[in-house]
Structure 1
Amino acid sequence: METTTSPPSSSSKPPLNIAQIFFKPIKKSAPPSPTKRHTKISVIGVGNVGMAIAQTILTQDLADELALLDSNPSKLRGEMLDLQHAAAFLPRTRILASVDYSITSGSDLCIVTAGARQNPGESRLSLLQRNMTLFKQIIPPLASNSPDSILLIVSNPVDVLTYIAWKLSGFPSNRVIGSGTNLDSSRFRFLIADHLDVNAQDVQAYIVGEHGDSSVALWSSISVGGVPVLSFLEKQQITYEKETLESIHKSVIGGAYEVIKLKGYTSWAIGYSVASLARTLLRDQRRIHPVSVLAKGFYGIENQEVFLSLPTQLGRGGVLGVTNVHLTDEEAHRLRESANTILEVQNQLGI
């Protein structure tokens, strides 16, 4: 006999939640552990860089909740759905997206990748002024919705924009960090490892200063497998050409330009770089990264409020300290010159 189900009347009981039907509850003997932490990361800007960062954060299981924010609602929803559809292949992470800054509320870490693109023939200063205007719209609502978060700036030029974010947020300087030369140093380690035919993880090497043309390669502190490279060569009376070292540094600076020329943008390497920073910060790993921090008081940079990359210990509180790496006189001089280069740009902006 065929039966039909009539629609429920207004007096009918509301249907049970399907999860309540599917699972048989157990009697709770104790409340949930108060030590369990819910980690939330927000990514502002869903361009190529922002999505590479988001994708890497998901695959490395760094957050319980990932919020995406952008001014383009259709692209934003498309990116959110594309990631949500991969849920069966990823660690469990709640993925949200909105054009409203309230979506970022309660974030432990806010990663800013949004920024204006340089128009043909446009000066660097003009681009910076447009990005400063954009940051005036982005940073205050982020700080308001997540007053205890760490701000991680990835947008370029990263050093000046990190300084602007610090000023606009009102956060203490230890909770405002720029991605800086973390990726430059990774390229540096790769090139040295490739030159010596060793694993890049066995190479300790830093690029510091500006994330740009005035960056400084700390050759004097490079070690491979714990062996200081330059002092070892000198003890073995092995001569090396300074031009060879400089050519490696130039390859580091030109690395991003080459990738942009070949594929139009950089994405994967910066995605892994920023994910490594997120892991160190949120899991309190206290690792040392060359990132853009307030440099005043370090390495002879005495009276300048400028952000540039220094070897920095990071943890759950943000910047925990700056490593006292020995610099040669030439390296220290170049670092101060790099600080002056950034400061000149800041002064032109009138901030």
Structure 2
Amino acid sequence: MPLKNKVTIIGAGMVGSTAAYSLVASDITEEIALVDINQTLVKCQVMDLQHSMPFWGTTKIKVGSYEDIKDSRVVVVSCGAAQKPGETRIDLVKKNSGIMKEVVPKIFAQNPNVILLMITNPVDVLTYQAVKMFPKKKNKILGSGTILDSARFRFLISQTLKVNTASVHAYIVGEHGDSEVPLWSTAAIGNTPLTHFKQLTATKKKQIFHQARNAAYTIIEGKQSTYYAIGAGINQIIQTILFDKKTVLPLSHLVEGEYGIKDICLSLPVILGAGGIVYHINPEISALEKKQLWRSAQTLKKIAKNITL
């Protein structure tokens, strides 16, 4: 079956529906199929999204099923238990790995060439689970990873230095969670290293990273879940795939020897295109950052031992 400029989203909760809304507002997809076991919820989400169409464009959006994956370019997996106040992303692993054991085979049974974008937390461990189930598809299985953490990081730096976020080049890598690592050594404004900006003292850097790393906990405590920013991040990833943009993004993927790390999924910058991950970028980072990244990988490996394949 010929592939359409179509996206299937599995999970019609706040993240899945907000991602759908972001795609509708961008008017970049031919069709969006929203899938959920809660039929009342998914029907109402689709109805609400359809009613926004006169304001945006021509995207077709419908209540879908797994059969919609057959002619989809990308499938977004956002189903599963949500993170609760006081709960870390890793706490979710036992709940959500069981769900993925059923969902992932259904996806590739419908379309072996589809690109799978994992959003459900803990995203690194679940991305790893999907790769271990289908190792030959490792370049087509990716997680949103630290794309949101990096966006928060760039935003906070931009606010401190009073510069447009588009001019801030900075990444958070490793786990999407508590052991993530800020790459201060490669961060720059334009092509100017951050070491040239005296406003960024050691204390200020520590404060910025603390805010970026803990933002989700703050938001969840105040309004139960995060969805606007990750919805925008999902949009960027999908645009990059649909239009073969070859954009560099920090995404969770199988690491196979970079920085002495292998056999785990975590976020590092990659070039993303229509076929999935095109190239792995391994920036020169400091010895301390390498050590922190290795520790992040070990944290994830310990958790990954608990998943059921």
When normalised by structure 2's length, the TM-score is 0.94
Give CA deviations for 1:233-283 in whole Å, capped at 9, x if unaligned. 5xxxx5964232122111101111111122221111010011001001111
The residue number in structure 2 matching 1:145 is: 110
What residue is the counterpart of 1:32 in the other structure? none
Whole-Å Cα distance in 2 between the matches of residues 148 and 311 of structure 1?
23
Local SS of the residue matching 1:288: strand
Q: Within the alignment, does 1:246 sit opposite 2:206 as a pair? A: yes
Name the aligned partner's letter for residue 176 of structure 1. Answer: I
Task: For 1:153-302, list aligned pairs within 5 A.
Answer: 153-169=118-134, 171-230=136-195, 232=196, 241-301=201-261
Once residues 120 and 239 of structure 1 are traced to their aligned partners in structure 2, the CA distance between those partners, rounded to angstroms, is 34
Structure index of larger Rg: 1
Distance 2:157 2:264 in 1: 29
| Whole-angstrom distance in 2 between the partners of 1:209 and 1:166 | 17
Amino acid at match of 1:114: C
1:45 aligned to 2:3?
A: no
In structure 1, runs of 5+ residues without a counterpart are: 1-35
Deviations 1:56-76 (A, max 9, x none): 011112210111100001111
Instruction: Give per-residue Cα distances to partners, 1:308-351, cap 9 Å, x unaligned.
Output: 00011100010011112110100111111111110011123365
Cα gap change, 1:281/1:44 in structure 2, threshold over 3 Å: closer, same or farther? same
2:286 aligned residue:
328
Higher relative contact order (CA 8 A, sep 6+): 2
Structure with higher helix content: 2
The 1:169/1:65 distance shift into structure 2, 3 A limit, reads farther
* Aligned AA (1:52): T
Matched, 1:91 2:57: yes
SS of the aligned residue for 1:299 comes to: helix
Q: What count of residue pairs does the alignment treat as equivalent?
A: 308
Q: 1:287 to 1:122 in 2, by over 3 A?
A: closer
Equivalent AA in structure 2 for residue 327 of structure 1: I
Q: Give the counterpart letter for 1:198 in structure 2.
A: V
1:58-106 Cα distance to aligned partner (Å, 9 max, x none): 11122101111000011111111222222322221221213x4213322
- Preserved contact between residue 108 and residue 146 of structure 1 (Cα < 8 Å): no
1:107 counterpart = 2:65: no
Counterparts of 1:155 and 1:226, CA distance in 2: 34
* CA spacing shift, 1:248–1:212, aligned 2, 3 Å: same
Seen in structure 2, the aligned counterparts of structure 1 residues 216 and 160 have a Cα distance that, compared at 3 Å, is: same
State whether structure 2 residue 34 is matched by structure 1 residue 68: yes
Amino-acid identity (%): 37
In 1, the alpha carbon distance for the partners of 2:222 and 2:149 equals 18
Cα RMSD after superposing both structures = 2.1
